[in-house]
Structure 1
Amino acid sequence: MSTIPDYDTLSNINFTGGFPAHRDLAPSIVFIVLYSLTVPVVLWRIIVPRYRTWLLYRIVLFLGCRLAMLIIRVIMATTSSWSLGLLIAELILVGVGYLLLLEPILVLFKRTVDAAHPKHRYAREPLWLIILLGTCWAGLLAAVAMTVAAGVMISDAIDQGTGLQTIINLRHASYITSLIIVGCILFALLICFAAYRTSVKQTLYLLIPICALLVVAVYRVVQTYTTNPSSAARKLSTFWILQITFEYIAYVSYIAISIPGWYPSVHNSVVRKGGVSDPERSPASGHETLLPDGMDRSHPSGRRFTDSYTPARGGGGRFSQKMRSGRNHKTEVSG
């Protein structure tokens, strides 16, 4: 290990959480224990088919990032010198880990809106939803790229003394982008609840991770723009409370419920009266896959429709009903 060079240059970047010191040891160990206690729950959610969803793999990535970051902070807190690469890894994990928690709220918000408006499986998503989620996804990817780029450029800033302002600008842009994403989803969720009558249970529960991540986003922006080293926003205790603790709250809210049960995926699913099928809850998991209203499961092709079925584009159902009535009438006359 080598002592960190040019401490003043690094201090100008105003890292979130600051340089790990001996004071970080206790909270780092506490959160390592807290996250480790959730590992059996996460594994259980993944192993049991009815709880399994691809979103859990994103949550596992966050769990890995946070455990790795906390272990690095323990190492740096117990030694007087460390490598620059270790510091860069810790900084990237701090920033990227938070961004990994934003992806689930985008998906769960979409599922909440979809559940309020069941549609034919070939129907397109509402245009406003496509634009909003597409913009948020692009912003999230950009924020991750900017966070990683800012971390990688630190080495050049130390060795060559250039690019410091670029690093600061990238961090500012990434933090502001993440704040805008969380704010937009919160606003859209409340609007949809008032206008589209989305599920009360889904909406209220989704507010837990959204509000927790909003607190983190606001803290990150305020902290990175605060130039006074003695300000409360730059204190170590503030970092552990307003970022690490609220991240943990959002993380626990994801694994505390059955995501397929609370937020079933209805994208490209088949809708019928009285229920919506969930592709994540397949017959292999012991749950019935629902057919469209009027389809006969006993029919070999599964395509025999009853009179209650009406295609999404309208008209065809009644026409088919009349045709069947005509055929039945002819049969009775001929008999």
Structure 2
Amino acid sequence: MANDFSKVYPMTKALSQELSDSIPIEIYEYIIAHMDSTSALKNCSLTCRAWLQASWKNIFSRRRIVVDCNNCEAFLQLIELDRQSVTIIRFIRSLHIEQGDSRLLFRSTGPRNPKTFQFDDFLPRFVGLVSVKTLRLGWIRRDIGPTMITSLRTNFGKVTVLELNSVVLASADQLLDILISFPSLTNLTLVGVAFSSLSESYSVYEGEQTFFVERTLPVPPKLNELSCNLPRDETVFIFSWLTAHGVSSIQRLNVTLIHESSNAAISRYLRKFGSTLEELTIGSFVSISPEGACVEDFR
């Protein structure tokens, strides 16, 4: 039956101009939205201006764009072009930005990368990324300033999924400033995040070696998923913060066990809110040390 049908209605035959013009553009957009072939989507994007945006929307809904010191200038040129005409910038849903260098980061082997990529300098120019829902920030260093925080709040306010990977911050307060920049955040992954120092606002809690948040800190995002692969003190801080604010929205939790004090902080959270979890994954700690970072960056 299928072979007979293909003989009568050959699929390679182009539609007549009259028939093509009579089909609403929404029908084409619906078909393009359900296409899986990258090559076919690229061909659709080149077919006509009417199919361009629907094709790009599908292509970039499943692909992560990576920006670092090597391609940042080209990416910024694309952002500038988007002010004048439609480009892929407004369709990117997943973005990965690697700082890759820092004004305070010493490289023990070879010269410094001449293409210094500092978040404070570049993030304010990352505008027009209105579709970004998933954001990964890597290699953030403790010399970041208020400009970066403001840029995150202004340019990435719709982000729901955030990953911080290989990050060294001056204090826990810097981490909180980053996290509360995303009011819609529901999924958080923290890998290799370290603080150069912990504030005096933390003290021993109930005789255990667990820091407790004494002063008023921002309310955590209403997370559905949390994944943490952190050193001892950072793990303690995160779970003390969540416990102190009664965050019970987490349904999927992935944590690492590393030390008695951090395990106690996790256990305290689980005793209070573990019944609301749908999935719990516990693993062993894996140290994340970016190549070339000096020892003092990781205490």
TM-score relative to the length of structure 2: 0.21
Name whichever structure is richer in helix by fraction: 1
Relative contact order: is structure 1 or structure 2 higher (C-alpha 8 Å, sep ≥ 6)? 1
Larger radius of gyration: 1
* TM-score of the two chains, using structure 1 as the length reference: 0.19
Instruction: Identify the structure with the greater strand proportion.
Output: 2
